[in-house]
């Protein structure tokens, strides 16, 4: 790049122009209807808007040598990760008004699938002021006060038994001759704690979670990878440098900001640039109330006041002393 090159505008156009040819579709993993990923334009918008939660949070979990070799070992690791509540294990949960208790009929197949026993459920279910008993595949929870049955029913239904919260579904797939776990839902800090996980290769598509867990540099890399992944999946060839510039701008302050009025555009030092971007009148009124001044350093504000813009040749100011020239001529 030469000094004064309008890199921001070039990056915006280089991403924006191919972006108009994107198909608006969600992509399904081959043959697996349960896991659909937001891709194409909706995902690109999600990335530059720095949404707190992606519409389809997904994790790709790589496993340690022991677990990635066989499907059985990978499935075992996945079983310990999937979020399991009482509702997942029960065939029926109901109030018993005669006995004044909550009864949970456990499903044998589900318990086998999640590798858990009725005794383990009884030991995990610790609810204050309640007595818990098991009869075969039935768990009975009797509260000290009978009038709390409704509240107790909701509490028992959503009670966490095992696994990692927010990982709704797990899918064990073979990729590049090793077994990998993909999850619906994302909880990076908890997943990285698991002994079966190879932390250095495990990732999520939730950029804010990466920033919180691994720091801003990791979030910058995640933004680049996510945006490049979306563009490449659609067969668009955008130079990495444009995407890198966008990611750099979004993370330059030490936290992930959106490219919009709540992020980069809203934090510009220029009053006129902010007013030209979106909410015009509130910006101008706010600036006049506070008595702000505009340094006229950017492009937009100079266009508004009719000056040459500080880009390309407009970056250089040339002064010539005519009096000195006159003296030389004499």
- Same domain? For 90 and 158 the reply is yes
- Same domain? For 98 and 141 the reply is yes
Give the pLDDT score at 29: 54
| CATH number, domain with residue 235 | 1.10.1790
| CATH number, domain with residue 122 | 3.30.1360.140
- Same domain? For 149 and 91 the reply is yes
Give how many domains the chain has, as a whole number. 3
For every residue of 53-114, DSSP letters joined together read: S-SS-EEEEEB-HHHHS-HHHHHHHHHHHS-EEHHHHEEEEEEETTTTEEEEEE-HHHHHHT
Give the pLDDT score at 27: 59
* Rounded distance between C-alpha atoms, residue 300 and residue 309, angstroms: 8
What is the residue range of 297's domain?
269-315
Q: Quick one: CA dihedral 116, 119, 121, 126, positive or negative? A: negative
* Rounded distance between C-alpha atoms, residue 99 and residue 5, angstroms: 79
* Rounded distance between C-alpha atoms, residue 235 and residue 160, angstroms: 42
Q: What percent of the chain has pLDDT over 70?
A: 95
Instruction: Output the average pLDDT for the chain.
Output: 84
Give residue-wise pLDDT tens across range 209-233.
999 999 999 999 999 999 999 898 8
Residue 157 inside a domain? The answer is yes
- Same domain? For 49 and 89 the reply is no
Strand partners of residue 131: 142
Mean pLDDT of 289-307: 92
Give residue-wise pLDDT tens across range 122-146.
777 777 777 777 777 777 777 777 6
Residue 62 inside a domain? The answer is no
- Same domain? For 247 and 296 the reply is no
Nearest to 82 by CA among 189, 179, 190: 190
| CATH number, domain with residue 288 | 1.10.150.390
pTM: 0.80
- Same domain? For 274 and 259 the reply is no
Residue 194 inside a domain? The answer is no
């Amino acid at each position: 790049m030469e000094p004064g090159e309008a890199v921001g505008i070039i990056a915006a156009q280089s991403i924006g122009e191919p972006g108009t040819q994107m198909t608006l579709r969600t992509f399904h993993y081959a043959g697996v209807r349960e896991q659909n990923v937001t891709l194409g334009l909706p995902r690109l918008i999600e990335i530059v808007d720095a949404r707190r939660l992606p519409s389809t949070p997904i994790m790709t979990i790589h496993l340690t040598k022991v677990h990635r070799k066989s499907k059985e070992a990978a499935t075992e690791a996945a079983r310990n990760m999937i979020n399991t509540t009482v509702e997942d294990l029960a065939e029926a949960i109901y109030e018993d008004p005669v006995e004044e208790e909550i009864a949970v009929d456990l499903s044998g197949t589900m318990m086998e699938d999640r590798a858990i026993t009725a005794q383990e459920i009884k030991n995990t279910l610790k609810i204050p002021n309640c007595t818990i008993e098991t009869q075969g595949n039935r768990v009975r929870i009797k509260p000290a006060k009978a009038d709390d049955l409704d509240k107790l029913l909701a509490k028992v239904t959503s009670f966490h038994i095992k696994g990692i919260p927010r990982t709704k579904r797990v899918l064990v797939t073979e990729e590049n001759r090793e077994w990998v776990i993909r999850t619906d839902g994302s909880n990076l800090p908890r997943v990285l704690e698991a002994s079966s996980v190879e932390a250095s290769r495990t990732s999520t598509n939730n950029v804010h979670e990466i920033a919180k867990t691994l720091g801003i540099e990791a979030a910058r890399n995640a933004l680049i990878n996510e945006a490049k992944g979306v563009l490449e999946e659609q067969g668009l060839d955008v130079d990495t440098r444009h995407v890198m510039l966008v990611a750099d701008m979004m993370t330059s302050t030490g936290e992930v900001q959106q490219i919009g009025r709540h992020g980069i555009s809203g934090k510009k030092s220029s009053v006129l640039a902010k007013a030209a971007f979106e909410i015009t009148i509130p910006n101008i009124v706010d600036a006049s109330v506070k008595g702000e001044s505009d340094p006229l350093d950017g492009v937009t504000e100079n266009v508004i006041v009719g000056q040459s813009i500080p880009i390309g040749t407009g970056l250089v100011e040339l002064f010539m002393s005519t009096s000195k020239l006159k003296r030389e001529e004499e």
